[in-house]
Chains A and B, each alone.
Chain A
Amino acid sequence: MADLIEIITANRLRDGAVVYWKQGGWTVTLADADQFTDRETCVAALTLAQERVAAGEVVNPYRFEARRDNAIAIPVKERELIRASGPSVHPELGKQADPATAPKFHVAAPAKPPRPKQADGPEAFDVSL
């Protein structure tokens, strides 16, 4: 049974690489990242992570949600799945290309998403995005 956790991420200043918070430092591998099960601890860690921006380590740290399945963190949103792996159209590039940094989950073919609620009137059309 998967449970929801949070992870802290940022991009490394010197090369832009995706990094994850791990025990007061950073790792390039999602599988090694600290997995936060309570919001308070995560927010406290994010405050520490944000101090590393001024120090020139990283840019824009933030929290994101993941599901934990057998200790493996699987990001909930497509954006974080792609950041953790690399471009889905170039499997030979990014973290996915190196067994040391590749995520422990497969991202190529997400399950068919739920169909959006259909309605009759044009007011249901989502055109304002």
Chain B
Amino acid sequence: MYRYDEFDARLVSERVEQFARQIERRLKGELSEDEFKPLRLMNGLYLQLHAYMLRVAIPYGTLSSRQLRMLAHVARRYDKGYGHFTTRQNIQYHWPRLIDVPDILRELASVQMHALQTSGNCIRNVTADQFAGAVADEIEDPRILAEIVRQWSSLHPEFSFLPRKFKIAVSGTPEDRAAVRFHDIGIEIIRSASGDTGYRIFVGGGMGRTPYLGLCIADFVARDDVLAYLEAILRVYNMEGRRDNIFKARIKILVNALGLEEMRARVRREFEEIRKEGSLNLPEHEHARIATYFAPPNFETLPDTCLEFETACARDGDFAAFSRHNLSRHRASGYAIVTISLKPTGGVPGDCSADQMDGLAQLMDAFGLAEIRVSHEQNLVLPHVRKKDLPALHDRLKALGLASPNSGLASDIICCPGLDYCDLANARSIPIAQELSRRFSDLARQEEIGELKIKMSGCINACGHHHAGHIGILGVDKKGVEFYQLQLGGSGAEDAAIAEIMGPAFAKDEIVDAVERVIAAYLNLRQPGERFLDCYRRLGLEPFKNVAYLEQLHAAY
């Protein structure tokens, strides 16, 4: 894992004390609310419906057991005993008091954590594949570049007041688990024909009010040029992006207004200027130095077939189900990647109690696991687990209530906090996700349905990634009453697509039935082995739309 050097530690601690003084001045009335608000947002502190919300950065979603224990401690001491993992691989606390925030930030700084740039019009927490360093077809661990980008972008003086927020994601494999084409900048690590590692850069992707898929602005950027190229994109955006209309301020609007060719030409001009100055080269030795922090553990030489694992699968149905869905193939023989679902039946997607966090930290130490990851799908991942440890690890997860065997299935739903917490939300999202999760709780039914990504947001800002859902649900407000739009056919993976809106919104007590009818139609219409997404792509919206509105049409007549 990356460890702070003296500069990192000093920077974070100075910012904590600076914000502590700003809070003190606000409480004394020396700062007005208008003056204070941008300062608190720069430190990840929002004001929501019931209380403040503190969003703590988890760079590229990687945590040590010590950091996880600290997150548990903060949840218990300063909040209400739980935290909420988000689609940006961060954690949010929904109940901190303003007067406690300096102490929270000091405690977080003691384990090299902070809340900088988790809000505001700056470059946000850089996200990466949660399987980084563990999958076989990876060209390079994406966290190396993500960390370099984090260092370059933290408190970057030129990019602290961008037209709007800016999100970057990095993937190190052709299989995309980081939703790179839905980011302001998406980076895919690639290898050239001559064997050089470099970066394919997508720009202008995003969700929200106007969803776009990122467009490929550069097929191959060499490693030592990457910061110069990113700086060039940011510079064009900073100068040309719209500041007159918040709804048109993201880079996706600029890219689509200019057109890709013009955008590419402007970025190229800036890039050449920056290169002439020669100050933003990424030296090979610096890349290598950062890479050492992400070196994989020394994997033992183990056979891929493991007797303890096979025996447990044969003996324990729960373990066998967990193994079918929550394990992924590891690069090292005899190891597995474990996804810990934060989507228990009827639970709040992404929520994790302080006791569960502590229990996971103990489990990590007991099994010698240095890291745990947060995925953008609001689950946790243990990247390097010996197969022979899996039965005992599963028992521990079960005792913690963290052994739901539903990764990638219908009840593994991404869901934003919605109107239960969020000041921006138009409708509640969690109760709909809970009802869907109960409706599809039967594992045999979920297995029959197969891979299905349901994603749900409580407003157009799309924190719940509804545009990228195989089935997306968007909460809307109609005269103070909650309604829900259904969208089909989105994907945040390497086959990225924006979901298509079906039609008029459904009432709160109709939406789950409508989803169920759509899924039933899929089961009737699919060809052997065809995923929901592929079935939709073959047939289009119409057959699903017909069944989704069936009851409404009957009622209307």
Asked if A124 contacts B80 (CB within 8 A), the reply is: no
CA distance A125 to B485 in the complex (A): 10
B47 touches which of A16, A56, A78, A87 (Cβ 8 Å): A16
A79 touches which of B99, B419, B460 (Cβ 8 Å): B419
Asked if A82 contacts B49 (CB within 8 A), the reply is: yes
B292 at the interface (CB under 8 A from A): no
CA distance A82 to B371 in the complex (A): 38
B49 touches which of A15, A83, A113 (Cβ 8 Å): A83
Asked if A78 contacts B50 (CB within 8 A), the reply is: no
B507 touches which of A77, A82, A94, A113 (Cβ 8 Å): A113
Asked if A82 contacts B431 (CB within 8 A), the reply is: no
Asked if A88 contacts B478 (CB within 8 A), the reply is: no
B509 touches which of A78, A82, A112, A129 (Cβ 8 Å): A112
CA distance A63 to B32 in the complex (A): 21
Stretch among B23-31, B158-166, B269-277 lining the A interface: B23-31
Asked if A53 contacts B33 (CB within 8 A), the reply is: yes
A126 at the interface (CB under 8 A from B): yes
B51 at the interface (CB under 8 A from A): yes
Asked if B481 contacts A89 (CB within 8 A), the reply is: no
A48 at the interface (CB under 8 A from B): no
Asked if A88 contacts B508 (CB within 8 A), the reply is: no
CA distance A60 to B423 in the complex (A): 12
Query: In the complex, what residue of chain B is closest to A127 when comparing beta carbons?
Result: B501
A17 at the interface (CB under 8 A from B): yes
**Residues 48-88 of chain A, each 1 if its beta carbon lies under 8 Å from chain B, else 0:** 00000111100110000000000000001111001100111
- Contacts A54-B29, A116-B478: A129 and B426 contacting too (C-beta < 8 A)? yes
CA distance A116 to B477 in the complex (A): 11
B504 touches which of A13, A77, A125 (Cβ 8 Å): A125
A89 touches which of B51, B430, B485 (Cβ 8 Å): B430
Cβ–Cβ < 8 Å partners of A87 in chain B: 50, 94, 420-421, 430
How many chain B residues sit at the interface, stated as a range, is 35 or more
CA distance A112 to B508 in the complex (A): 8
CA distance A60 to B46 in the complex (A): 13
CB contacts under 8 Å to B, within A70-129, are 76-79, 82-83, 86-90, 93-94, 110, 112-116, 118-119, 122, 124-127, 129
B257 at the interface (CB under 8 A from A): no
A35 at the interface (CB under 8 A from B): no
Q: Which of A11, A60, A112: most chain B Cβ within 10 A? A: A11
**Residues 417-459 of chain B, each 1 if its beta carbon lies under 8 Å from chain A, else 0:** 0011100001110110010000000000000000000000000
How many chain A residues sit at the interface, stated as a range, is 35 or more
CA distance A129 to B458 in the complex (A): 12
B482 at the interface (CB under 8 A from A): yes
B480 touches which of A13, A16, A78, A125 (Cβ 8 Å): A78
CA distance A119 to B552 in the complex (A): 12
Cβ–Cβ < 8 Å partners of A89 in chain B: 348, 420, 428, 430-431, 434
CA distance A11 to B24 in the complex (A): 18
A8 at the interface (CB under 8 A from B): no
Cβ–Cβ < 8 Å partners of A17 in chain B: 50-51
CA distance A20 to B493 in the complex (A): 46
**Residues 101-112 of chain B, each 1 if its beta carbon lies under 8 Å from chain A, else 0:** 000000000000
A72 vs chain B, min Cβ distance (A): 18
CA distance A118 to B549 in the complex (A): 11
CA distance A116 to B555 in the complex (A): 12
Query: In the complex, what residue of chain A is closest to B478 when comparing beta carbons?
Result: A116
CA distance A119 to B348 in the complex (A): 35
Cβ–Cβ < 8 Å partners of A90 in chain B: 348, 420
B246 vs chain A, min Cβ distance (A): 15
Asked if A82 contacts B51 (CB within 8 A), the reply is: no
Cβ–Cβ < 8 Å partners of A114 in chain B: 481
Asked if A14 contacts B29 (CB within 8 A), the reply is: no
Query: In the complex, what residue of chain A is closest to B80 when comparing beta carbons?
Result: A93
Asked if B28 contacts A79 (CB within 8 A), the reply is: no
Asked if A112 contacts B29 (CB within 8 A), the reply is: no
Asked if B509 contacts A16 (CB within 8 A), the reply is: no
Cβ–Cβ < 8 Å partners of A30 in chain B: none
Asked if B552 contacts A118 (CB within 8 A), the reply is: yes
Asked if A59 contacts B419 (CB within 8 A), the reply is: no
CB contacts under 8 Å to A, within B537-557, are 552, 555-556
B98 at the interface (CB under 8 A from A): yes
A125 vs chain B, min Cβ distance (A): 5
A2 vs chain B, min Cβ distance (A): 15
B97 at the interface (CB under 8 A from A): yes
A31 at the interface (CB under 8 A from B): no
Cβ–Cβ < 8 Å partners of B56 in chain A: none
B268 vs chain A, min Cβ distance (A): 35
B61 vs chain A, min Cβ distance (A): 24
- Contacts A14-B27, A89-B420: A54 and B32 contacting too (C-beta < 8 A)? yes
A18 at the interface (CB under 8 A from B): yes
B413 vs chain A, min Cβ distance (A): 14
Cβ–Cβ < 8 Å partners of B420 in chain A: 82, 87-90
Asked if A55 contacts B29 (CB within 8 A), the reply is: yes
Asked if B507 contacts A115 (CB within 8 A), the reply is: yes
- Contacts A89-B420, A116-B478, A129-B460: A15 and B431 contacting too (C-beta < 8 A)? no
CA distance A69 to B52 in the complex (A): 31
Asked if B503 contacts A13 (CB within 8 A), the reply is: no
Asked if B480 contacts A76 (CB within 8 A), the reply is: yes
B505 at the interface (CB under 8 A from A): yes
A-B contact pairs, 14 of them (CB 8 A): A14-B98, A15-B51, A15-B98, A16-B51, A82-B420, A87-B94, A87-B421, A89-B348, A113-B507, A115-B507, A115-B552, A115-B555, A116-B478, A127-B501
Across the A-B interface, give the 8 residue pairs with the lowest CB-CB distance, nearest first: A77-B480, A15-B97, A16-B51, A87-B420, A16-B52, A113-B481, A56-B29, A89-B430
Using a CB–CB distance below 8 Å, which chain B residues touch chain A? 26-29, 32-33, 47-52, 80, 94-99, 348, 419-421, 426-428, 430-431, 434, 460, 476-478, 480-483, 485, 501, 503-505, 507-509, 552, 555-556
Other CB < 8 Å A-B pairs besides A14-B97, A86-B50, 15 of them?
Answer: A13-B33, A16-B96, A18-B49, A54-B29, A56-B27, A78-B419, A78-B428, A83-B49, A87-B420, A88-B420, A113-B508, A116-B504, A118-B556, A125-B504, A127-B501
